[in-house]
C-alpha cells in the first residue's frame, strides 16, 4: 500500500513538474521574436543589431551598434517612429501585449571586455487613450 502511494505521489510530482515546464514556455517569447524580425525586415538592419526585451509594461527595442548611432536626433527620431509603427502593428491586439503602455527605441553602443552598453539616444512612444502609440517628449 505504501509503495502504491509513493508511486502515485511520484507520478503526481512529475506531472506537476511537466505542467510547470509548459507554463514557463510563454507565447510572448515567440511574439517578441516576431517583433524583432519585423523590425529587422523594416529597418533593413543586420539580424544581430536588433534586440527586443519586455520589462513589465515597457517594450524596449534596442538598435545595437547601428549606423544611426552617429546620426542627428531628428534622423534617429524618424527611424524610431518607423520602428514603433512596425512594433505597434506586430503586437496589435495580442493578449500577451495588452498591458504594454510604452515602446522604447534605444540606440546602444556595445563594446569592451567585459561588454558594456552605452545608450547613445532613446525615443519613447506612449499609448494614448485612442490606443495608438505616440512619441513622448519630456
In this predicted model, what pLDDT tens digit does every residue of 48-68 receive, in sequence order? 999 999 999 999 999 999 999
Q: Tell whether domain 27-136 is in CATH 3.30.70.
A: yes
pTM, full prediction: 0.75
Alpha-carbon dihedral sign for residues 102, 20, 30, 92: negative
Average pLDDT of 122-127? Answer: 97
Domains of the chain by residue range: 27-136
Local structure of residue 71 (DSSP, 8 states):
S
Least trusted range by pLDDT, from 13-22, 52-61, 108-117: 13-22
More confident residue, 54 or 11: 54
- Taking Cα atoms as reference points, which of 70, 27, 64 lies closest to residue 43? 64
Average pLDDT of 66-86? Answer: 95
More confident residue, 5 or 53: 53
CA distance 39 to 66: 13
Find out whether 102 and 126 touch, Cβ atoms under 8 Å. yes
Amino acid at each position: 500500500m505504501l509503495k502504491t502511494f509513493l508511486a502515485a505521489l511520484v507520478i503526481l510530482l512529475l506531472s506537476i513538474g511537466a505542467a510547470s515546464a509548459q507554463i514557463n514556455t510563454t507565447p510572448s517569447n515567440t511574439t517578441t521574436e516576431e517583433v524583432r524580425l519585423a523590425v529587422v525586415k523594416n529597418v533593413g538592419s543586420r539580424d544581430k543589431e536588433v534586440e527586443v526585451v519586455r520589462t513589465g509594461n515597457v517594450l524596449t527595442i534596442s538598435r545595437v551598434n547601428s549606423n544611426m548611432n552617429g546620426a542627428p536626433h531628428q534622423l534617429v527620431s524618424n527611424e524610431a517612429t518607423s520602428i514603433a509603427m512596425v512594433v505597434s502593428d506586430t503586437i496589435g491586439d495580442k493578449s500577451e501585449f495588452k498591458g504594454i503602455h510604452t515602446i522604447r527605441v534605444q540606440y546602444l553602443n556595445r563594446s569592451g571586455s567585459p561588454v558594456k552598453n552605452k545608450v547613445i539616444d532613446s525615443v519613447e512612444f506612449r499609448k494614448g487613450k485612442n490606443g495608438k502609440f505616440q512619441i513622448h517628449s519630456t
